[in-house]
Amino acid sequence: MDTTRASLLIRIKDPRNTQAWSEFHELYAPLLYRYARSRGLSHEDAEDVRSTCYEAIVRQIPHFDYDSQKGGFKAWLRTLVNRRVVDLLRRQRQATSVPLVEDLASSDGTADELWDHHWNQQHLRHCMKLAGLQVSSQTYEIFRLLVEDQKSVGDVCRKLSVNSNQVYKAKSQVLATIRELMQATCDD
């Protein structure tokens, strides 16, 4: 599977490429949803923002030219989702006559920081999942126990009947794989 974002963007220009769209959805749908939720939207509103973002992506991606020198896909997608969030908040304000907090509508540092945080976290989750497919199941289980479950080296050794050297090697191997995948998928 080709994991580079640039190639994925080229492949989704073909709306019939269901594999590319599936990969795109797996990576970016959670990002769009989590970001909208972090901006204070309800579950339903965040789902609505994600849907309207997808509609815009389908319409605009054939004309999108990937050029990291111009800000790249990350900035384009951030602008797209921010506009959808602001549009939704404006519609809600008009329906309820409640003043809109301007900080939510602006592209302030907080919104940018939230976007960067969710972008990085989603790509890390995605790369961790891919790394789990590239190493042995035992190697990934060691890593998962250490990192996700925060077990001690001794606990992992006892649970999996391995020695501490195997634990450190497994952790190092998975981290190296994740770093490579992050570099391939997250370059701006």
Structure confidence by residue, pLDDT tens digits, 115-132: 888 988 888 899 999 999
Q: Domain containing 165: what range? A: 135-188
For residues 149 and 73, membership in a common domain is answered with no
Confidence tier at 107 by pLDDT (50, 70, 90): very low
Give how many domains the chain has, as a whole number.
Answer: 2
> From CA 174, how far away is CA 139, in angstroms rounded?
7
Summarised one tens digit per residue, pLDDT across range 52-67 is 999 999 998 888 876 6
Q: What is the pLDDT of residue 20?
A: 92
Residue 11 has pLDDT above 70, yes or no: yes
Residue 75 pLDDT greater than 60, yes or no? yes
Per-residue confidence (pLDDT) for residue 143, from 0 to 100: 94
48 lies in the same domain as 76: yes
Stronger pLDDT, 103 or 38, i.e. the higher one: 38
Q: How far apart are CA 56 and CA 67, in angstroms?
A: 19
Clarify whether residues 101 and 145 are in a common domain: no
Last residue of a domain, one of 126, 153, 178: 126
The answer to whether 123 and 182 are in contact (CB under 8 A) is: yes
pTM to 2 decimal places: 0.71
pLDDT of residue 135: 95
Are residues 81 and 143 located together in one domain of the fold?
Answer: no
Percent of the chain with pLDDT over 90: 52
C-beta of residue 142 within 8 angstroms of C-beta of residue 170 = yes
Extract the tokens encoding 24.
């795109």
pLDDT at 105 over 60: no
Whether residues 33 and 116 fall in one domain: yes
**The domain boundary residue, chosen from 104, 126, 148:** 126
CA 113/CA 94 separation, integer angstroms: 28
8 Å CB contact between 129 and 140: no
